[in-house]
Every structure is written in structure tokens, then in C-alpha cells.
Structure 1
């Protein structure tokens, strides 16, 4: 069997998660990895038996053996490497955001539309079995129309003023942090389940720590900074926020995101109220789907392939009672993406570049809403390079 040859740009958490997910697929081989930290990337290549380690990502992109590129770099590098990969005619899977602003992402959409390659964005939460089951339940029309939605995404890794990473720096991360980093996941999964776009937002954002302590040698997002010499750095991106939303068919909702919620590690949750049932799903308990009822006992559907829709059951890999979680959702994304490359998947469910562009437009609308203190429409024709680095208020 001929294996598809893959190159990974990046050496952080996301890059290693991609490497591990791809190693679980029988017909994929990671043949190259790159990072500007040559010592680190050499170590990773040796550990995972990857043939080639590059200090220059462009060498990886133009390596004739590499057929598919995974862009797992910090946000400010996404546009450049995504653009160059598409121009090189390589298949591309990018971590989100697709670019730093909608001007960049619009250009990438146009490039991808002109290219025969497969391109996608890594919104991995779409690919949990019970997320697909929830989507199928909503689209079955058995439960009546959707009344409203609510939920959020809560973490605590930014709780203290000594918590610091490159994500605190607008030049590397972009003008939004909590909303763009984790709020984008909530918006994508909700739009995917409902099959509807969010078209209008009313946002209220907050920066808890206007000054954070940056260590002089800290490099990892989740590395603590309270044991090193620090310097004070002003912070202009949000630590949390709440957003009222309206969908294109008039359905309303609200969500909250926070990176300063003590005890919450990766609490992505969603509840959808329909005419006859309410549905609730949590990422930290991914093998359960709660079904709420008015005049009968509530139920809990577990991840059992025999109880799920055909499409949802295809996302399970072990029998009922054996737990599957975050790494398996990422594996399902890879199966979907590479099945599309091979022509085996005709109706892929991974997020497209158009989806990634729409999410950037949505985040920009949230920032405008907060600054203007009013409802703002998500304008798909707007190219908001005007969302400038600066103060939230």
C-alpha cells in the first residue's frame, strides 16, 4: 500500500497531537517536521523516527516527498505558510485561525478555490461520535424546531497574572484571545450541529489581568512562570466574555468563554432546546448525550455504536463501555481529511477554508460589538483588516 507522505510545521502541543493521530492511521507516514528551534525539532524527529527535520518551514513545504502539509505554528505564521503551501500545490490542514484577519483568510479561500488540493481547518470537536449524533438528531426533524441554544468554553490556564505564553502577545496571537482561541471552537461546533450560521452578535468582553508577568525563558503555553525572573507586560486581549447570538433563521442563543475560571480545565459544553427535547453535551464527558424531557423521565444516551446513527457509529472505534475522547476525535478528523484526499469520502464533515474564514469574520464582529457596545452583523463581504491591535475598550 502506497503511503501518503506528510510534513508537520511546528513543534508544540498541536504539532505533536497531529503526529500521534497520524501514526494511528495505517496508510499515512510523517516524513518531515520543521521548527525554527532546530534542537527541539531534531529531538522530536529522532523520538518519532521522522526522516527529515527542517529549521526552515519553506524547505518542508517544497520537499518533493511531502504531499500534505499540517500547519501547527503560532497564529501569526498561519497565513504565510498556508498561502505558500497552496501555491506549492500541496494538500493542507491548518490549525485555526486560518489567518490573523479576514483580509488574509479571504485571500486563502480564493487560493483554495482555485486549487485542486484538499484544504481544511482543524476544528476537531466536530468529530466526536455524540456530536455527530446530536447533529443527526437535530436534522431528523423528529424533535421539532430549535428554540434556543446556550453553552460555553471555560478554562483556568490564564487564572494567575504569572500565567503567560505567546498567546498573550497580540502580534503573535491576534487581537482576540479567549474568543478566538476557544470561543471559535464553540461557535464552529454549534454552527456545525445546527447547520446554520451565526449572523449577529452582542458581546461584552473583559481583561482581568491588564498586566501579566512574563518570564525571560518561558516557552510553553502551559508552563508556569512563578519560579522564574519576570517582567511586567501590558495585556490588551480578553480573559473572558459573553455573547448574545442570532442565527440566520432567527434562533437565538448565548455563550460564555473564560480562561480564568478556576478548576475548569477544558470545559466545552453546549445545550440545545427544541420543541420536544433538550440536548446537552460536554467535551469532558464526551461519551454521554443528555436528553431532557417535559413529561417523561430524562435520558442519557451513551456512546454505543449499536444505538447511534450510521454516521455517528462510524466515528466510534471500540465497543460500548470502552471510553473514547479527545485524541479519538482528532483521529476522526484525520480519517475524514485523508479519506477525502484519497477520494473515499464523498461528503466530508471537516471544516473548510470557507468555514475558517467565516469564523474569523465572526470573531471580528464580536470585537466590533464589544467596542461599539451594540449588536453587530457578521458581514461576509467585509474584509476586516481594520481590527487593529490595541485596547479592548
Structure 2
């Protein structure tokens, strides 16, 4: 049981997912704030939470709350994070951290000044075998890297009648599929490769220029992308490419990457998350199966169950939050954080802005 207590803002898919992971870790959750007091009351009762906050200000004023988990639409992140930091609360914010890099830069500064722990929930890096892939790259077993490729594809916005607040740039930001899922892919491969994406060349497409809002049957003009292809170069010149899409039929939530070098290759697919493929030129290929007893220490730390016992999406939140709350328990805010930080969140917004600019100019664009 951790001595730090949390409160959650937002009761959608992300809010309840955060709650489940916190409970698995033994973090006390004091209550929840929603878009209205009435909704908070209903959600607190449904979720078995002790308190329904009348509004966000009441949550922030609660001295028993040490950590705020922000799980609301993107356009609300900046103000809520800022208020939490000013109140001396630690913050776990859903991605993206804010709507633009000016806002994220301000939040990086505010977090540093406040002296609290501040994280962005790039949970998908926390599949255990991503850390094993990182170990293979860092140890030199893949050799001098040649290129990286992959994708993050879904189909939940396949039809013109599919709708969500994320299609509205006023709420979600100028980029949708890149910001929503592409940033997860970029965070993952940068963590594994130990390199940063330095320049991009992007091609974005909106396949449904209008969508039908099921709430009022209105036709809504869409100014955010449904899919994208992106070339990139990393800070050491390493080349790569990836595709992101929310209109890829049959692919519910597929993340893939392959990293190739002069001594081998490593590849992973989220549809088989407990298997890591290792490719060779001169001997049979290998499949590493998740088993804490046979993994590197950093990977084994993020594998809770024995071999043959599958771990998946909910477990990534648990492991992300465990890194965060263990850091809080250690009490050294000057130590290097093991979790995705506000600086990581800021860099992802810089990447998004470079990708949008590249698409608009049809040219390579430097990041930052």
C-alpha cells in the first residue's frame, strides 16, 4: 500500500482505466471529479469511490489528495495541470500533455519550479518485451542500426457515422491520429532505440471530410487527419518510417515495430504482446516469450506474472503507475524519473507540430 493518495478527473474510458490500475497497485483513490456535480455523484457511486467532488476546484483544494490523474479531453489539460501544479499536487496526465508546444513548455517549467513529480501517461512503452527490445539494442546484439519501421492502426473511425470528440480540433488539437496514437508509437521506438526523432516528412489524409454526429444527427466538418505516413530521421541519422490510421478495417488496436541492424533485427506486435521476434541473417530466427525468469532485469520488472500467463493493455497502466508511485515513495524529486515526463510530453508536441508543418509544406522539417 502506497502512502500517497490520488483523485481522478474524468470518468470516460481513460478515467476508469486509471482507477482500475491504481486499485491493483494499492493506491488509495479519494474520489472523482467529472463535467458536472451530478455526473460525479453517479460515477462515484457506480465505481465505489468515497467522494464525488462538486468541481475540479474542490478536488484541488482537498489536502488529502497528493496526486491528480487527469483523464479529460485534450483542450482541458493545460489549465487543469497548471492548477494542480500550483496547488503542489503531483500529476499524471493523459497524453497529449496539452494542445501545443507553447503550453507544454510552460508546463515543463511549472513542474520544475513546483518540485513535484509530473508524468504523461505514455503507458504503451510498458509492455515488458519493449524493455527486452531496448536491452537488445543497448547491448549491441542488434548491432549498428540501419532503419526502423512500423505502424499504429485502428478501425474505430472507419465509417462516416463514427464520431468522437477527438475529431473536433477545438477539443483534440490540430492533429488527431498522430497526436492520439502516433505519439505512443514515437515514444515507444525512441525509448527502445535510445534515440530521438530529429526531422520528419509527413503525408496526412482526411478520408471523411464530414462526419455525422449521432447525438443530434448534424453533419460536422472534419479538419483533422484519419491516417498518415511519416518518414523520419533520428539524431544520429538513423532512418525510419511509420503509418498511423484510425480507418484500417479489422485492426482494432495494432502496434508494430521492427528495428534492423547489421547483427540482427527485433520486432514486436501488440496483437501478440508476449512474443518478441529476433531476426538473424546466418542462423534460425528466435522468438522470445515473456517469462520474468528469462528476461533482462529491466524487462522482468515489468512482467508481473509467470511465463505462460498473458499480460496486456491494463497491465501497462499498472506498470507505468508503479514506476511513478515508487518514485514518489523514494522521495528524491531530483532523481532521474523512470517514467515518461513532462519533457517527454513536450517533445511529442514538438514532433506533432513538425509533422503538421511538413505535411503543409511537403518538405522535411526539423523538430523543435
TM-score by length of 1: 0.91
* 8 Å contact from structure 2 (residues 2, 325) kept in 1: no
Separation (CA, whole Å) in 2 of partners of 1:364 and 1:259: 20
Which string of whole-angstrom CA distances, capped at 9 and with x for unpartnered residues, describes residues 7-30 of structure 1? 10111000000000000012x100
Correspondence for 2:22: 22
* 8 Å contact from structure 1 (residues 36, 55) kept in 2: no
Which string of whole-angstrom CA distances, capped at 9 and with x for unpartnered residues, describes residues 265-299 of structure 1? 00011110011111111122110000111121111
The structure with more helix, counted as a fraction of residues: 2
The SS at the match of 2:247 is: coil
**Equivalent residue runs for 1:95-244 within 5 Å:** 95-216=94-215, 230-244=217-231
Correspondence for 2:364: 375
Correspondence for 2:76: 77
The SS at the match of 1:50 is: coil
* Pair 1:255 & 2:254 matched: no
Separation (CA, whole Å) in 1 of partners of 2:135 and 2:47: 38
* Aligned partner (choices 284, 288, 303) of residue 275 of structure 2: 288
Correspondence for 1:223: none
Separation (CA, whole Å) in 2 of partners of 1:348 and 1:295: 39
Correspondence for 1:333: 320
Separation (CA, whole Å) in 2 of partners of 1:309 and 1:348: 20
Separation (CA, whole Å) in 2 of partners of 1:305 and 1:280: 19
Distance change in 2, residues 1:270/1:2 (3 Å): closer
Correspondence for 1:277: 264
* Pair 1:365 & 2:354 matched: yes
Cα distance, 1:55 vs structure 2: 3.6
The SS at the match of 2:294 is: coil
* Pair 1:3 & 2:6 matched: no
Deviates more, 1:202-211 or 1:40-49: 40-49
Separation (CA, whole Å) in 1 of partners of 2:239 and 2:246: 24
* 8 Å contact from structure 2 (residues 2, 329) kept in 1: no
Runs of at least 4 residues off by over 6 Å: none
Cα distance, 1:48 vs structure 2: 2.8
Correspondence for 1:222: none
Separation (CA, whole Å) in 2 of partners of 1:294 and 1:356: 37
Separation (CA, whole Å) in 2 of partners of 1:305 and 1:199: 34
Aligned length: 366
Separation (CA, whole Å) in 2 of partners of 1:280 and 1:142: 14
Correspondence for 1:298: 285
Correspondence for 2:31: 32
TM-score by length of 2: 0.97
Correspondence for 2:343: 354
Cα distance, 1:47 vs structure 2: 2.7
Separation (CA, whole Å) in 2 of partners of 1:314 and 1:344: 20
Correspondence for 2:306: 319
Separation (CA, whole Å) in 1 of partners of 2:168 and 2:242: 25
Cα distance, 1:166 vs structure 2: 0.6
Structure 2 gaps of 5+ residues are: none
Structure 1 gaps of 5+ residues are: 217-228, 380-393
Separation (CA, whole Å) in 2 of partners of 1:344 and 1:284: 37
The SS at the match of 1:23 is: helix
Correspondence for 2:13: 13
* 8 Å contact from structure 1 (residues 7, 61) kept in 2: no
